[in-house]
Structure 1
Amino acid sequence: MSRSTETAAGEAFHSHVFLGEGHEKSERKTWSVIWLCAAMMVVEIVGGWLFGSIALVADGLHMSTHAGALLLAALAYTFARRYAHDERFTFGTGKLGDLAGFTSAIILAMIALLIGYEAVARLFDPVPIHFAEAIPVAFLGLAVNVASAWLLSGDHHHGHGHGHAHDHHGDDETRVISTASGDVSLEVFEDGVPPRFRLRSDSGSALVASAVSVETLRPDGSRQTFAFADRDGFVESITEIPEPHEFTADVTIGAEHYPVVFEEHEHAHGAAAHDNNMRAAIIHVIADAAVSVLVIIGLILAWIFGWLWMDAVAGIVGAIVIANWSASLIRDTSAILLDMNPDRQMSGRIRTVIEEEGDRLADLHVWRLGPGHLGAIVSVVSSPSHNEAFFRAKLARFKALSHLTIEIRQAG
């Protein structure tokens, strides 16, 4: 991650590379899908020309528009990486993916309108359908789209760590403890519920709540002991864990003690962390796949029962689905391009951290620089004893703050 910090006086340690994690991998995956679509396009057009199938030729031409839309995403990845160090980009090239995602969303909206217009026209004026050719072509298109979606969304990283207590599966609030009976996972669980400790055996051996306890030691010297209750497949602390989750936990399992360190790390949430360029590419192929499924259903029903109107209805439903996804993508990417606050939860946490020792947050601006990277301007009214280094240390837990400017005003 790139991180830079400024003082109000203008001292700076700058690095303006705000590309998302796995940027180059996403770039390679997108180019791979483009080559797959291009190869299928050639096969369909040549095959249609040789065998006299207009349906194959039409689907091949459609595949060319599919490859063209993905080309936009690939070029955005390439351009952002190539010009990441170009000083003309004041805050780096991290937003190029959002610009490409916005453009792709507009293209998707136009495609939805065209599909809807054609479907409505066919509803009132049905045309003959060559089922023997159309259905296999629809299945072929579906197969290509499923393969494309798998290539774009597939993640082959599987972390396997070893040691006494460490991160597990990339979760900052899960630790793996190596015991004589096998590995045990300790987690601070707070998915939609108040935070509690959860302890489960990774080796299959059962844990007994009465034999488990956790004592936390915080930086200020305060201690708290947590008793546990049995749950379905794990044990859970009875009382909630107070914020912040920064402490050393002395985990007791039977007669053995295992020290585990938790550090408070605040990452970007929701829209602040999404790679909208990859999201747009995936939505494009999934939308195409959804339309293929609807077309197949419509064609089969029309073939079996003679319901030619089913083909048109399938097209209308597909247009509505694509339009809905397009509207969601336009809303999210335009908010980023207009520098709307991408993570209100983090803004609230920043205010809490700044003001917890009596200082006052006078002004705060948070905006997105790239996937998982946020910029922030923080203005604080404080006592003379709290300098820029003091607040920089307090905000160090917010790992997503990649470009931080701090202004300090003297109280009174």
Structure 2
Amino acid sequence: MSEQKNKYENKTMWVVLLTAITMVVEIIFGLTTKSMALLADGIHMGSHVLAIGLSWLAYIIVRRVSKSEKFKGNSDKILSLSGYSSGLMLLIFAVVIVIEAVERFYNPVEIVYKEAIFVAIIGLIVNIVSAFLLHHDHEHSDHNIRAAYLHVLADALTSLTAILGLVAAMIWDIPFIDTIAAIVSSLVIVKWSIGLLKDSGKVLLDMEHKDRAHSHGHHH
């Protein structure tokens, strides 16, 4: 199992680096070209760098802890705790997108379409590469790798809906399609993050064993 975790640790490290580099590049170009879209996406990437960085850190801690004799706890819980925290970030993140989208609905901003679409495509490419890196077998997966994977997928989803929304808005000149697209993708992300919080929360509360027995009739 530990070899599996080391593999995940390396993968999350690469994704953190990739996302961080993209973030820095986008922020620099955003400032130099005065592009709000690039700047916003760069900052937005930053929140994913933090979350996936947390997952990476969790693997490092587990690796250190499993070597230490003093630690008597269940080191896998560290991964669930990290996954839980990451899921919480994802949830907050989706709520923020909804709030921003609703605000934009009331105060439409002038969108530089071609530039915004270009930025969204860069974001999408980075996320697709990251998703391939973080792809994991479900049997071996832990909440930590799942959380990192969901952050990447969430980002890919927002990039994809942004591209579709912007293209539609540009072609038919309906700026609010972009807003609706953002809200739809946020709702999907909310659903994912709540699923992650439930699953990782169960591990943290040692509920797994009791839960399996009556999970069929019991709907919470």
The AA in structure 1 aligned to 2:20 is A
Q: Distance in 2 between matches of 1:127 and 1:52?
A: 15
> Following TM superposition, by how much is the alpha carbon of 1:123 offset from its aligned partner in structure 2, in angstroms?
2.1
Q: Does residue 73 of structure 2 align to residue 91 of structure 1?
A: yes
Any unmatched runs of 5+ in structure 2? 214-220
Q: Does residue 182 of structure 2 align to residue 321 of structure 1?
A: no
Which of 82, 88, 100 is the matching residue for 2:64? 82
> Following TM superposition, by how much is the alpha carbon of 1:39 offset from its aligned partner in structure 2, in angstroms?
1.4
Q: Distance in 2 between matches of 1:85 and 1:98?
A: 19
Which of 146, 165, 168 is the matching residue for 1:301? 168
Which of 105, 108, 118 is the matching residue for 1:126? 108
| Bigger helix share | 2
Q: Tell me the SS of whatever aligns to 1:52.
A: coil
Would you identify which runs of 4 or more consecutive aligned residues in structure 1 move more than 4 Å?
Answer: 342-345
> Following TM superposition, by how much is the alpha carbon of 1:90 offset from its aligned partner in structure 2, in angstroms?
2.0
Q: Tell me the SS of whatever aligns to 1:282.
A: helix
CA RMSD after TM alignment: 2.1
Aligned residue in 2 for 1:31: 13
What is the CA deviation profile of residues 213-254 of structure 1, one whole-angstrom value per residue up to 9, with x for unaligned ones?
A: xxxxxxxxxxxxxxxxxxxxxxxxxxxxxxxxxxxxxxxxxx
Q: Distance in 2 between matches of 1:53 and 1:117?
A: 21
Q: Does residue 102 of structure 2 align to residue 141 of structure 1?
A: no
> Following TM superposition, by how much is the alpha carbon of 1:40 offset from its aligned partner in structure 2, in angstroms?
1.2
Contact 1:106–1:326 (CA under 8 A) maintained in structure 2: yes
Q: Distance in 2 between matches of 1:344 and 1:334?
A: 12
Q: Tell me the SS of whatever aligns to 1:84.
A: helix
Identity among equivalent pairs (%):
43
Which of 88, 91, 95 is the matching residue for 1:106? 88
What is the CA deviation profile of residues 293-340 of structure 1, one whole-angstrom value per residue up to 9, with x for unaligned ones?
A: 111111111111111110110111011001000010010000000001
Bigger RCO of structures 1 and 2 (CA < 8 A, at least 6 apart): 2
Contact 1:123–1:309 (CA under 8 A) maintained in structure 2: yes
Which of 48, 58, 69 is the matching residue for 2:51? 69
Aligned residue in 1 for 2:218: none
Q: Distance in 2 between matches of 1:68 and 1:318?
A: 21
Q: Within 5 Å, which residues of 2 pair with 1:138-287?
A: 138-153=120-135, 274-287=141-154
Q: Tell me the SS of whatever aligns to 1:82.
A: helix
Aligned residue in 1 for 2:40: 58
Q: Distance in 1 between matches of 2:24 and 2:97?
A: 23
> Following TM superposition, by how much is the alpha carbon of 1:94 offset from its aligned partner in structure 2, in angstroms?
1.8
Q: Within 5 Å, which residues of 2 pair with 1:359-370?
A: none
Q: Distance in 2 between matches of 1:116 and 1:320?
A: 8
Q: Distance in 1 between matches of 2:65 and 2:144?
A: 17
| Bigger strand share | 1
Contact 1:99–1:337 (CA under 8 A) maintained in structure 2: yes
Q: Distance in 2 between matches of 1:296 and 1:105?
A: 25
> Following TM superposition, by how much is the alpha carbon of 1:48 offset from its aligned partner in structure 2, in angstroms?
2.5
Q: Distance in 1 between matches of 2:136 and 2:142?
A: 14
Contact 1:112–1:322 (CA under 8 A) maintained in structure 2: yes
Contact 1:45–1:57 (CA under 8 A) maintained in structure 2: yes
Q: Distance in 2 between matches of 1:93 and 1:29?
A: 19
> Following TM superposition, by how much is the alpha carbon of 1:99 offset from its aligned partner in structure 2, in angstroms?
0.3
Distance 1:313 1:344, change over 3 A: closer
Q: Distance in 2 between matches of 1:35 and 1:133?
A: 24
Report the number of matched residues: 213
Contact 1:85–1:92 (CA under 8 A) maintained in structure 2: no
Distance 1:113 1:344, change over 3 A: closer
The AA in structure 2 aligned to 1:281 is A
TM-score (ref. length: structure 2): 0.89
Any unmatched runs of 5+ in structure 1? 2-18, 156-268, 348-412
